[in-house]
């Protein structure tokens, strides 16, 4: 009997020791986790190297201090890890549902739509685009005598098309139609979209080229660009908060971040209206854009049922015509370091997105300020360290 009592006491003593150990671990584990990679938002918002306007060197700041230093009202981030959406978070005067002008990130979204139509054999990457355009044609000149403009050239910025970008219109001003934009006709205040280099011979950043892609998509789907994008991209990728509508519908104005100049002043009317939809007219969230990047990763890996085919994804992530672009964005690195990148800059809004298709790591950053690129760059560099991304070189447009 005495032996049984002693045995029970030993068991109780061991149980007490294990309980004490468990309590000790519970008290120290959260702080330990916060010091490790993959712990989430906390690690991203500290230790940012920010270059303030006019400064020659970077200052190390927390994210909230960086917002104040750069006069940025808000920034929203979606982090991709392991081919999945890891987390989203917004700082400042915004939430994860806040809409931002995605600016030139619109081009990558447009490229996915065009590649979807290639998969459906409605478009061809290497055919003269004038064979598919309805109602408007790329004017031929001496530069197109031996080489025609193709969709591959347009998506990779090697089609020889001019007009690098668009600055938008203040609310209340007359807005041009797509054909007026392409022809540079009033009320458009941009130059005509024309061939100014031999197609296929050199890279030249061209928002005008993406307006031709918009015309191609509208020609094939016989409807508005926004409706076409909902049908072939947004609905398939689960992008429920994205819209190619300029001006923004009244029902969504309450969700939209207002754009700001570098000195912190708000744009008159809240934003510029950007009727050049494919080049820069998307309103979206980091979450939606991250969903699209994940679709591209899955397609690149050959997973079935994705928004574009494996072959299209491989083309998208292959540099074209000796330029820095694939189809829709800049490409750098190889192997695990292969990365797809795209910068967006409208008046009052700046953002960035990138994805490593092999590792499934990436990020989307959107902000409502002309200083947004400085903050986005710092956030991306910090994420690369915290999440142990493959080597990341210069961030391209």
Q: What pLDDT is stored for residue 15 in this prediction? A: 42
Q: What is the DSSP string of 52-99?
A: -TT-SS-EEE-HHHHHHHTT--EEEEEEEETTEEEEEEEEES--TT-B
| Mean pLDDT of all residues in 330-351 | 97
Per CATH, which fold does 43-131+226-386 belong to? Beta-lactamase (3.40.710)
Q: Which residues pair with 61 in a beta bridge?
A: 48
Q: What is the mean pLDDT of the chain?
A: 90
223 or 28, higher pLDDT: 223
State mean pLDDT over 188-207: 97
Q: Would you say residue 11 has pLDDT above 70?
A: no
53 has pLDDT over 70: yes
State the pLDDT at residue 51.
83
Asked if residue 68 has pLDDT above 50, the reply is: yes
Beta-carbon count within 10 A of 335 CB: 7
* Whether the predicted pLDDT of 17 surpasses 90: no
| pLDDT at residue 396 greater than cutoff 50 | yes
pLDDT in tens, 259-290: 999 999 999 999 999 999 999 999 999 999 99
Residues 86-116 pLDDT 10s: 999 999 999 999 999 999 999 999 999 999 9
Number of other CB atoms surrounding residue 33 within 10 Å: 12
d(CA 298, CA 313) in angstroms, rounded, equals 9
pTM: 0.89
Mean pLDDT calculated for residue range 153-164: 98
Q: Are 246 and 281 in contact (CB under 8 A)?
A: yes
- State what percent of residues in the chain have pLDDT above 90: 84
Q: How many CB atoms lie within 10 A of CB 235?
A: 12
Residue 52 — very low, low, confident or very high, per pLDDT cuts 50/70/90? confident
30-34, 40-44, 130-134, 339-343: least confident range: 30-34
Q: How far apart are CA 260 and CA 348, in angstroms?
A: 4
User: According to the model, what pLDDT value does residue 284 have?
Assistant: 98
Q: How far apart are CA 314 and CA 312, in angstroms?
A: 5
pLDDT of 228 over the 60 cut = yes
Q: Which residues does 120 contact at the CB level (< 8 Å), separation at least 6? A: none
Q: Are strands 339-346 and 330-332 parallel, antiparallel or unpaired?
A: antiparallel
Query: Does 214 score more than 80 pLDDT?
Result: yes
In which band, very low, low, confident or very high, does the pLDDT at 215 lie, cut at 50, 70 and 90? very high
Average pLDDT of span 64-72? 96
Is it the case that residue 241 has pLDDT exceeding 70? yes
| Cross-strand partners of 343 | 352
pLDDT of residue 9: 45
Q: Which long-range contacts (CB under 8 A, 24 or more apart) does 350-353 make?
A: 350/103, 350/376, 351/100, 351/102, 351/103, 351/105, 351/376, 352/376, 352/377, 352/380, 352/395, 353/105, 353/108, 353/286, 353/289, 353/290, 353/293
In this prediction, residue 39 carries a pLDDT of 53
Q: Which residues pair with 78 in a beta bridge?
A: 88, 364
In the predicted structure, residue 170 carries a pLDDT above the cut 50:
yes
Whether residue 14 is predicted with pLDDT greater than 50 in this model: the reply is no
Beta strands in the chain, from DSSP E residues, in sequence order:
48-50, 59-61, 74-81, 84-92, 100-101, 283-284, 330-332, 339-346, 349-356, 361-367
Q: CA-to-CA distance for 74 and 46, rounded, in angstroms?
A: 16
pLDDT at 393: 87
Q: What is the pLDDT of residues 119-140, one digit of tens each?
A: 999 999 999 999 999 999 999 9
Helix axes 207-221, 105-119, angle to 10 degrees: 40
């Amino acid at each position: 009997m005495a032996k049984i009592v002693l045995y029970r006491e030993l068991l109780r003593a061991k149980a007490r020791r294990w309980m004490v150990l468990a309590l000790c671990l519970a008290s120290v584990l959260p702080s330990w986790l916060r010091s490790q990679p993959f712990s989430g938002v906390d690690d991203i918002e500290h230790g940012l190297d920010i270059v303030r306007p006019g400064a020659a060197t970077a200052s190390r700041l927390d994210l909230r201090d960086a917002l104040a230093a750069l006069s940025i009202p808000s920034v929203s981030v979606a982090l991709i890890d392991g081919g999945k959406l890891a987390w989203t978070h917004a700082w400042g005067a915004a939430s994860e549902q806040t809409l931002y002008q995605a600016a030139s990130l619109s081009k990558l979204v447009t490229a996915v739509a065009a590649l979807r139509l290639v998969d459906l054999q409605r478009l061809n990457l290497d055919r003269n685009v004038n064979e598919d355009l309805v109602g408007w044609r790329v004017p031929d000149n001496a530069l197109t005598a031996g080489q025609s403009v193709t969709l591959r050239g347009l998506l990779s910025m090697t089609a020889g098309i001019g007009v690098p970008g668009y600055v938008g219109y203040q609310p209340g001003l007359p807005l041009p139609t797509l054909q007026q934009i392409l022809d540079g006709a009033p009320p458009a205040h941009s130059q005509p979209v024309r061939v100014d280099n031999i197609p296929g011979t050199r890279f030249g950043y061209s928002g005008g080229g993406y307006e031709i892609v918009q015309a191609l998509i509208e020609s094939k789907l016989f409807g508005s660009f926004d409706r076409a994008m909902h049908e072939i991209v947004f609905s398939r990728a689960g992008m429920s908060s994205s819209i190619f509508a300029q001006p923004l519908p009244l029902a969504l104005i309450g969700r939209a971040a207002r754009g700001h100049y570098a000195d912190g002043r708000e744009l008159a009317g809240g934003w510029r209206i950007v009727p050049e939809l494919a080049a820069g007219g998307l309103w979206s969230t980091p979450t939606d854009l991250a969903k699209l990047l994940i679709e591209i990763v899955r397609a690149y890996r050959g997973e079935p049922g994705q928004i574009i085919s494996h072959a299209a994804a491989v083309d998208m992530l292959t540099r074209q015509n000796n330029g820095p672009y694939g189809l829709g964005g800049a490409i750098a690195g190889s192997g695990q370091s292969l990365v797809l990148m795209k910068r967006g800059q409208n008046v009052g809004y700046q953002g960035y997105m990138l994805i490593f298709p092999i590792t499934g790591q990436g990020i989307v950053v959107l902000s409502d300020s002309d200083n947004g690129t400085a903050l986005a760059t710092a956030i991306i560099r910090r994420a690369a360290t915290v999440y142990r991304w493959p080597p990341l070189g210069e961030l391209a447009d």
